[in-house]
Amino acid sequence: MFYGIAVFPEKHVQDLANSWRRRYDPHYAAIPAHMTVRDQEDWTEQQLQTAVDYLEQATAALSPFTVRFNRVSSFFPVSHVLYLALEDTAAMQELRNAVCSGPLTVKAPKHVYTPHLTIGQKMSADELHDMYGNLRMQSIDAVSRIDRIHLLYQTDNGSWTAYQSFLLRG
């Protein structure tokens, strides 16, 4: 079964992201607006239990923090993705480093970790450029408190559901 780790921003940030995701993100119905901490991976029951034990331990030392989304950006030309970008990525980078170590170390990352909240993907180049041109003109200032991470699993219909949530207790 596929598992992944993510954080969900507060509702007002999700609502902002969903105003665009509804139309431009084909994964809108499969998972709420989120920031990925660790990409999906197929785990055995033993790997799942090891991950749960490790996340309990890791989150005990991590403190809640605040993030600010301040602009729209894109991964073009690498991929046709638009996202809400963070003003400062340090706290999310620290969270990822703490979570993705020990038994959850990512051995061969596919890309450099860039904390973000996807608002559009799998668009044509023209559609991406049009949307990006319009959105980068908008003033964005959305703050969210991050106080937990979520271990998610993918259901048979392709949607993602929380397996367990872990409060940041540091």
Residue pair 14/32 in contact (Cβ under 8 Å)? The answer is yes
**Residue 96: CB atoms within 10 Å:** 21
Residue pair 26/160 in contact (Cβ under 8 Å)? The answer is no
Q: Reply yes or no on whether 34 is catalytic.
A: yes
Residue from 4, 48, 25, 46 nearest 149 by CA: 4
Q: Reply yes or no on whether 150 is catalytic.
A: no
Q: Which residue among 34, 111, 129, 150 is the active-site one?
A: 34
Q: In the numeric block, which tokens belong to residue 65?
A: 């923090």
To the nearest 10°, the Cα dihedral for 80, 86, 87, 92? -130
Q: Which residue among 80, 116, 129, 150 is the active-site one?
A: 116
Angle in degrees, CA 89, 91, 95, rounded to 5: 115
Rounded alpha-carbon distances, angstroms, from residue 81 to 5, 46, 66, 73, 157: 20, 34, 24, 9, 23
Catalytically active residues are 34, 116
